[in-house]
Amino acid sequence: MKYILVIDHIATGGAERILIDYYHYLKNKGHQPHIFVLSGYAGQSKWTEDIDYITYGSKGDEDNLIKKGIQQLSLYFKLKKLIHEVKPDVIFSFLEKSNLLTIIAPSKAIKIVSVHNVLSIQYTKLKNPQVKKIVYNIIKWMYNKCPNVIAVSKQVKDDLIATFGVQTDNIHIINNYVDRENIRIKAQETIENFTFLPERKYIMNIGRFSDQKAQWKLLKAFALYLKNTNGNVGLVLMGHGEYTTDLQELAKKLQIEKYTTFLPFNVNPYKYMRHAHLFVLSSIYEGFPIVLAEVSSLRIPFLGTQKAIPEEMFDQKKIWEQCIFKSSTLEKDFSTTIHQDEQDLAELIKKGVEDENFRQKILESTAQWEKQNTKRIQFECYDSIAK
């Protein structure tokens, strides 16, 4: 079968990683996959080095409203041309821009679109009520038009139904899984740019330094927790993004820089991850974060915000409820003011680091989900929709 996989961009996000893995899976199964990237260029990402068929629609996103409109029209015609050339049996897309283009593009191919975030929270940044109404109506129209909508978690599906009025029958829940055996092998590789001290218990976070990931909350919570410890703990933040400098400066203002390490994104984060005593996801929202599937494969306890930790990973809701806190401040805040939700996170971190019984409960409650944590199951579910 011939596939076109469509995505907004290829950087370091979860959706991009799924697309790359799915491309190789399809190729190994004897299919003919082709990738269409809305924005980017050859050599931009290391993940595309061994991709044979990839087309870029534009080099970068336009900021000007008129130019942005022209760009979207251009992308539509470029995708239409690619569809005409490839004649795909399936068009599979990731993220909202790609989903919209896929849905409106003329083709008799089976169309599958995927939603990777809780959209009602993602679009809280839209302050103009008229613009917000238009966006919401577009989302409702597009996902009701396509009968094959993949939601990466239950909360993503519930949000599409409750907030946007998407028909239940259109939505399939397929969690993001990983190749856990490969992760365990890569986790044994040697680290060259950092030394994990054996006497320290390390708290870790991996993700883009952005509004969504909200690492400033973690820094403040860690600073509060650190005041009540003997200092034998450390915080490791791995990633890059627009807030790298702001977060580093905040660590200094909070006087925790001696206990906090910022590491650049690494193509093998697992060799660092395996040294973590606790993983904390401070994101204001997530769909189904792949990093948690990776952490789970290494059997590391994790906790985070209510909208970031998927409930279906736990076999007991009461355990899930003990692993989450509600993010009450959604706007970025690089001041030293510690809000109530950050105080709640500090208490949660203390429990996650020091309470062995609690840590064991997390691992036991996620053991059943972990048994099916294999990329093959995820992609076989994709295949069942594509038939």
Instruction: Provide the 8-state DSSP code for 148.
Output: -
CA angle 165, 171, 177 (to 5 degrees): 135
For 140-180, write each residue's pLDDT tens digit.
999 999 999 999 999 999 999 999 999 999 999 999 999 99
For 222-277, write each residue's pLDDT tens digit.
999 999 888 899 999 999 999 999 999 999 999 999 999 999 998 899 999 999 99
Chain-centre distance of CA 175, in angstroms? 12
User: How are the residues of the chain apportioned to helix, strand and coil, as percentages rounded to the nearest 5?
Assistant: 45, 15, 35
The span from the CA of 263 to the CA of 245, in Å, is: 13
Please tell me the CATH superfamily of domain 180-371, with its number: Glycogen Phosphorylase B; (3.40.50.2000)
Intervals of the chain under pLDDT 50:
none
pLDDT at residue 262, rounded to an integer:
97
Helices (H), the chain: 14-28, 65-86, 96-104, 119-122, 129-145, 154-164, 180-186, 215-226, 244-253, 270-273, 290-297, 317-322, 340-354, 356-365, 367-371, 375-386
Where b means 16+ CB within 10 Å and e means fewer, 58-86 reads beeeeeeeeeeeebbeebbebbeebbeeb
Cβ(9)–Cβ(15) below 8 Å: no
Of 88, 93, 81, which Cα lies nearest the Cα of 108? 88
pLDDT at residue 35, rounded to an integer:
96
pLDDT at residue 232, rounded to an integer:
93
User: Residue 322 pairs with which residues in a beta bridge?
Assistant: none
pLDDT at residue 231, rounded to an integer:
83
Fold of 2-177+374-386: Rossmann fold (3.40.50)
Delimiting residues of CATH 3.40.50.2000 domain(s) in the chain: 2-177+374-386, 180-371
Cβ-based burial of 223 (10 A; exposed 0-12, middle 13-18, buried ≥19): buried
User: Residue 302 pairs with which residues in a beta bridge?
Assistant: 279
pLDDT at residue 12, rounded to an integer:
66
pLDDT at residue 243, rounded to an integer:
96
Chain-centre distance of CA 131, in angstroms? 26
pLDDT at residue 67, rounded to an integer:
81
